[in-house]
Amino acid sequence: MPKTFKNFINGKWKSASTGETFDNINPADSGQVLGRFQKSGKKDVDEAVAAAANARKSWRSMPAPRRGDILFRAAEMLVKDKESLAREMTREMGKIIKETRGDVQEAIDMAYYTAGEGRRLLGETVPAELPNKFCMSVRMPVGLVAAITPWNFPIAIPSWKLIPALVAGNTVVFKPASDTPVSAYNFVRLLEKAGLPPGVLNFVTGSGTEVGVPLMDHPEVDLVSFTGSTDTGSQVAQHCARQMKRFSLEMGGKNAIIVMDDANLDSALEGVIWGAFGTTGQRCTACSRVIVHRKVLKKFTDALLKRAQSLKVGDGLDSKIEMGPLINESQRQKVLKYCKIGVDEGARLLTGGDVCKTRATRKGFFFQPTLFADVSPGMRIAQEEIFGPVLAIIACNSLEHAVEIVNDSRYGLSSAIYTQDVNHAFKAIETLDTGITYVNSSTIGAEIQLPFGGTKGTGNGHREAGTAALEIFTEWKSVYVDYSGKLQKAQIDN
Ligand code: UN1
C-alpha cells in the first residue's frame, strides 16, 4: 500500500474534507504509485487561509533576523537531506539525479542567501527638504501569500516563493503541482521542523480548479505568486484583477541560442544539447530554438545530430542516463502533436519525433530527443512553447538577423549567444529582448542571487530571486519623522 500524505494546516497534518485522494506516480515507470495525496476542496482552502490569516500578526511582529534564523536552519537541513530529497524527486518528476541534486541545491542557495535578508531588508534613508526632519523607507510584509508552483522544479521554485515571502514576514498557503507533491511535502515538512510557528506556512494539495481557484479568489489572500503555463497565468491575472490583488506571474518561454560563425563550436554544441534536452526540455528556460549562422550551419547541424542521437534516455536514477521521461502522458501527447505539426509545416525532421519504444523505456513517458532542421521563424514549432525535447534549427545571415529572429516571439525569458567577438556579445546583450541573456553559455543555469524572469508574455513585470524578489513580497512604507516641535509644511515652507 502506498503511503498517504496529508495537508498541513495550522501546524497539523490533516486529511482533506472531501475524504478523497489522488495518486502520485513515477513517470519513468507509470505503474509505480509513490504516494496518495489529499484531493482537497474549497473547505480545506478556507481552513488553510484562516490559519494563515490568524498567524499574520505574530509572524510579522517577530524580528526579521529571528525569521531568518529559522530559514538558515532550513538551509542546513536541506544540505543534510540533499541526496534523499534528490532521489525522491527523480522518482516523482523524472529528471536525472544530477539535475534533481541541482534542484535541491538551488533551494539551499536560496535559503542561505535569502535568510540573510532577515538582517538586511534594506530600505533607503534620504535627506528631508525641511530642517529637523528625517526620512526613510522601510519594507513591510504584504500579508497573506498564495504560492502556486509547477512540477518541473519541485523544490527550487517553491523555495523562490516561500523563502522570500516568509523572511519578509508574510504567511503562506502553498499549493504545489499535483505531479510532484512528494517533493513539496518534503520541503514543507523540513520548514516545519526548522521551527516555523503553526499557521505561518500551510500546505494544501489538489487540482487547480478545486484548490487553486478558491485559493486565489479568497478575499483574505493578498498576493498570488504563480509559476506555470501562460494560459493558466492569464486566468490568475483575471481572477486577481477582480479583487485588485497583487500577483506575480512566471510563465512560458521560447528561448533561443544564437551560434555565430566565430563561435567555439564545441562549446556551443554542449550548451545547445544541455539547453534543449536537459530536464527533457521541460524548463521555462529550455533552449527550443537554435539560430545558426549559415557559414557554420551544415557543420553544426551534423554535430548536433550525432550528439542528439547518442543521448542515453532512461530512468534518471541510473547515473549513466542523460535524459529522463516527460512528466505525464498528456505532456507526451502534446509533444507528439507538435512533432506532427512540424512535419506538416514543412520542417525537416532529422531525428526523433516519436515516443521511445525500447524495452527500457516502455513503461514510462519517454520521448526521443528530436531535431528539426529548415525551420522558418514563423512556424508554430518555432513560436509555441512545446515543453519537451524538441529543438528547432533556424538559419541566420548575421547577428542583426539572428536577434530579429530571437525577438520575434511572444515570450522573452532567456537567450544566449555563442561568439568570440566582444562586439557581437555586447550588441546581443543590448538588443535581445529577454529577461536573461547568457554569453557563451546555455539558456539555462540561472543563479539565485540575480533576478529571474522575463519580458513580454513570460511574465507581468516582476522578477523572482535575488533582492528583486522582495519587490513582490514587500510593500514600501515611507516614513517622515518631524522633530522640529512645530508644524512644517513640505513644498510650502521651503
Ligand atoms: C525553470 O526553467 O522553470 O536557470 C526554472 C535555470 C534554473 C531554473 C529554471 N536555475 O534553468
DSSP string, 58-121: HHHHS-HHHHHHHHHHHHHHHHHHHHHHHHHHHHHH---HHHHHHHHHHHHHHHHHHHGGGG--
Contacts of residue 374, Cβ cutoff 8 Å, sequence gap at least 6: 346, 347, 348, 393
pLDDT of 297 reads: 98
Kindly tell me if the per-residue pLDDT of 494 is higher than 80.
no
Spot the catalytic one: 250, 356, 385, 464.
Answer: 250
Spot the catalytic one: 284, 287, 339, 396.
Answer: 284
- Beta strands of 180-333 (E only): which ranges? 201-203, 223-227, 246-250, 255-259, 287-293
What is the pLDDT confidence band of residue 360, given thresholds at 50, 70 and 90?
confident
Q: How far is the CA of 285 from the centre of ligand 1 (A)?
A: 6
Burial class (CB in 10 A: 0-12, 13-18, 19+), 198: middle
Beta bridge partners of 174: 147, 203
Pocket lining: 446 vs ligand 1, CB cutoff 6 Å: yes
Mutational test site, ligand 1, from 113, 282, 284, max ligand atoms within 8 Å of CB: 284
Q: Are 36 and 4 within 8 A, CB to CB?
A: yes
Give the C-alpha separation, 71 to 110, whole Å.
10
- Residue type for 274, please? W
Mutational test site, ligand 1, from 108, 153, 180, 448, max ligand atoms within 8 Å of CB: 153
pLDDT of 264 reads: 98
- Residue 445 in grid coordinates: 543555469
- Residue 227 in grid coordinates: 509559476
Kindly tell me if the per-residue pLDDT of 204 is higher than 80.
yes
> In the annotation, is 396 catalytic?
no
pLDDT, averaged across the chain: 97
Over the stretch 12-63, which tens digit does the pLDDT of each residue have?
999 999 999 999 999 999 999 999 999 999 999 999 999 999 999 999 999 9
Mutational test site, ligand 1, from 226, 452, 458, 463, max ligand atoms within 8 Å of CB: 452
From residue 154, give the alpha-carbon distance in Å to each of 94, 102, 108, 458.
11, 11, 13, 20
Over the stretch 103-143, which tens digit does the pLDDT of each residue have?
999 999 999 999 999 999 999 999 999 999 999 999 999 99
- Residue 32 in grid coordinates: 509505480
- Residue 108 in grid coordinates: 539551499
User: What is the average per-residue pLDDT within 392-412?
Assistant: 98
pLDDT of 214 reads: 98
What SS3 state is found at 7? strand
Pocket lining: 218 vs ligand 1, CB cutoff 6 Å: no
Backbone torsions φ then ψ of 136, nearest 5 degrees: -155, 160
What is the pLDDT confidence band of residue 359, given thresholds at 50, 70 and 90?
confident
Structural domains in the chain plus CATH codes: 7-251+459-478 (3.40.605.10), 255-439 (3.40.309.10)
Q: How far is the CA of 368 from the centre of ligand 1 (A)?
A: 22
> In the annotation, is 356 catalytic?
no
Q: Are 411 and 456 within 8 A, CB to CB?
A: yes
Q: How many other C-beta atoms can be found within 10 angstroms of the C-beta atom of residue 491?
A: 7
pTM of the model: 0.97
